[in-house]
Amino acid sequence: MTKKIAVAGKGGVGKTTFTALLIKELMRQEKGIILAVDADPNSNLNEALGIDIDDSIANILEEVRVGDAVPSGMGKDSFTEYRLSQVIKEAKGIDFVQMGLPQQNGCYCYPNNLIRMYLERLQKNYEYVIIDNEAGMEHLSRRIVADIDMLFIISDTSVRSIRSAAKVFELIQVLKITIPEVYLIISKTGEEGIDGLKAEIAKTGLDLIGTIPYDTQAVAFDFEGRPLVELPDDSLSVIAVKSIMEKAGV
């Protein structure tokens, strides 16, 4: 059975960092083939994983919407399937797909439905599907990625981002998206700990599964543009993510 894990939260809280380290640990444990989905147009999950990309699902949506790129005699669905196979970047132990930024506000219902159908089918080939979401949860609300088994909502130590995590949780309930396990993670914690945030965290109604300390090594890697998957196993954030995964039973 494929396990689908999504990561959400306000911009800049550490979603991509957590996602990359979760994938790093899954790969280290050789838990099976992973499909990583970068669903945040402002994200660079591929860089955090050290994977080069030059194509996205958004390109396919646009091509199907405009129609010019679809060869005559080829149905839009065959074209979508063919382009999707091109968009998926295969690396060792992991396949990667970038959702990208829709080029217009126009109606993408038809291509969206096609993409949803193929992604749904594609996902079955993997042990894990890991989705780095954008702050607005567009893909979740449009049901592009359905049937999430586990959602990690990330917050940093600011009250604003904890409230934003609460909003994500509310949205899921309003949209009646059923996710069996939803957890809160507080990232970039300092020596002062998170005791001062307890009341705010309690208000979210979320289950706090763990914290990730502020990790200067992770910052240095980002500064140098080095893939986060290359962080040493004893770095603070790697150890924290590993412990969260154990607790959540990933």
Ligand X SMILES: Nc1ncnc2c1ncn2[C@@H]1O[C@H](COP(=O)(O)OP(=O)(O)O)[C@@H](O)[C@H]1O
**Residue bearing tokens 């998206």:** 177
Comparing CB distances to ligand X, the nearer of 14 and 100 is 14
Closest distance to ligand X from the beta carbon of 44 (Å): 8
23 binds, among ligand X, Mg ion, none (CB under 5 to 8 A by kind): none
Comparing CB distances to ligand X, the nearer of 64 and 131 is 131
183 binds, among Mg ion, ligand X, none (CB under 5 to 8 A by kind): none
Site for Mg ion contains 19 (CB under 5 A): no
98 binds, among ligand X, Mg ion, none (CB under 5 to 8 A by kind): none
Residue type present at position 202: A
Site for Mg ion contains 15 (CB under 5 A): yes
11 binds, among ligand X, Mg ion, none (CB under 5 to 8 A by kind): ligand X
Q: Which residues bind ligand X (CB under 6 A)?
A: 9, 11-17, 43, 187-188, 212, 214-215, 218-219, 222, 237
Closest distance to ligand X from the beta carbon of 231 (Å): 10
Closest distance to ligand X from the beta carbon of 235 (Å): 9
Closest distance to Mg ion from the beta carbon of 203 (Å): 25
At 219, give phi and psi (nearest 5°). -60, -45
114 binds, among Mg ion, ligand X, none (CB under 5 to 8 A by kind): none
Closest distance to Mg ion from the beta carbon of 172 (Å): 19
Q: DSSP letter at 88?
A: P
At 168, give phi and psi (nearest 5°). -60, -45
Structure tokens at 62: 């646009």
Structural element, H or E, at residue 169? helix 159-174
- From the list 140, 143, 209, the residue with the least C-alpha distance to 181 is 209
Residues 6+ apart with CB under 8 A from 5: 22, 128, 129, 130, 131, 148, 149, 150, 151, 152, 250
Q: What residues between 31 and 70 interact with Mg ion by CB under 5 A?
A: 40, 43
41 binds, among ligand X, Mg ion, none (CB under 5 to 8 A by kind): none
> 145-167: string of b/e by CB count within 10 Å (b at 16+)?
beebbbbbbbbbbbeebbebbbe
Comparing CB distances to ligand X, the nearer of 4 and 15 is 15
Closest distance to Mg ion from the beta carbon of 44 (Å): 7
Cα–Cα distance measured from residue 96 to residue 88, given in angstroms and rounded to the nearest whole number: 6
Cβ-based neighbour number of residue 62 at 10 Å = 18
> In angstroms, how far is the first alpha carbon of the chain from the final one?
13
Comparing CB distances to ligand X, the nearer of 14 and 210 is 14
Point out which residues bind Mg ion (CB under 5 A): 15-16, 40, 43
